[in-house]
A and B are shown apart, each in its own frame.
Chain A
Amino acid sequence: MRKEIKFSGFGGQGIVLMGNIAARASAIYDGKNAIFTPSYGPEARGGAASSNVVISDDEIDYPYVTEPDVLVAMSQEAYEKYAPMLKDGGLLIIDEDLVKLKNGEGKVAKVPATKIAESLGKRIVANIVMLGFFTAVTKLISYEAIKKAVLESVPPKFKELNEEALDKGYERGKKVKDGKNGKMA
């Protein structure tokens, strides 16, 4: 089954890296087909940033995301810009402190990714917290795969921090998935 995922937020949050890690994890470590396409160029630098991933067990022909099954939004602007693209019945994942929902949402999963990152001492790893959360909630990528892809993407001295960030997000996601900590709305 073809699944389309859009990661979005603002410049500097590591949105492009999120997409790259997710697609690489799926393609290399889960052995699926996966494509990553970044938003690109000067127009992509300011304002809402996004990166796109398609995952499939079959050959992927059309490479772009047009109707995401999952939209990850880490800023209000990104949420407002991309939420209308979300597929009917698709899942919206937000950083609950950065995105205020408007009415009429379908499935939503919330995580205080930036706050969790701050509690680890580095706000910069909010994207990795979010990746952990995304992995647990969607199960589109295996935990082992995302972990390998994260660890090979960061400099050695930040491995521990990123592993912790990933795990915190993942645990949080599992709880949400199991309905223990604020069900998926």
Chain B
Amino acid sequence: MEIEAETHPLDKYLRTDRIPHIWCPGCGLGTVLNCFLHALEESDIDLKNLAIVSGIGCTGRVAGYLNVDSYHTTHGRAIPFATGLKLANPKLKVVVFSGDGDLFAIGGNHFIHAARRNIDMTVICVNNYNYGMTGGQLGPTTPLEAKTTTSPYGNVEHPFNLCHVAAASGAVYVARWTALHVRRLKESMKEALNKKGFTFIEVIASCPTTYGRRNKMPTGLDTMRYYKEKSVIKHGIDPSEADIEIGGDIIVGKFVDIEKPTFDEILKKLEEKIK
């Protein structure tokens, strides 16, 4: 007698033949992906027209697990690839899922320009404060003094405040959560998915294997406890006041939610005009 395995209600969103995923125990990425699947389940998104684009890195692997049209591109170039994809097929809902190094170091220029143009896409940045895939080097979000394999004596660089960068570059929606805030994160994802324009969510997530163990948070649970202790929700705050420092408060919430015509809306109008 064959026993039919019971399927999980969210399996339809996943390429189940690719599970188990490659992420480490205690990594925040599984939680973030889980939130995203719930956000999809609770929104009215046509999966046929959903496209996920990733760059390179641990978060870059998200594209490969989602059972939709998904593009795992080159390091830093997810956003320009997604720009072409979206403009060529405006029916698509395009979501860029990538990491802090991919989106803000090697791909930083593309991020600010896509935000400036207000390309209609949602960018979800999983910020784990370091380059996990390559073994834990410092990145553009590594806090000052944090230890990584390329800052063995402590980081001497000031980090980016991603939400501040996004808001200053012109994003119409900017929110930050940690991997602990699963319900709020899911709600934010739903909002971003349903909003036209360049929407941005930063998710601070644990990386026990390459970041946490060098910074007194050797397990995922330690990091979650830290988030619980330090997170402060401040909706609507000026994101310039939401810098991240070691031991300091982690300010989370929805910071920006404005209306602005998108690139394709303006282009459509122009086309009408010259016809």
A–B touch (CB < 8 A): the answer is: no
Seen from chain B, the residues whose Cβ lies within 8 Å of a Cβ on chain A are none
Seen from chain A, the residues whose Cβ lies within 8 Å of a Cβ on chain B are none
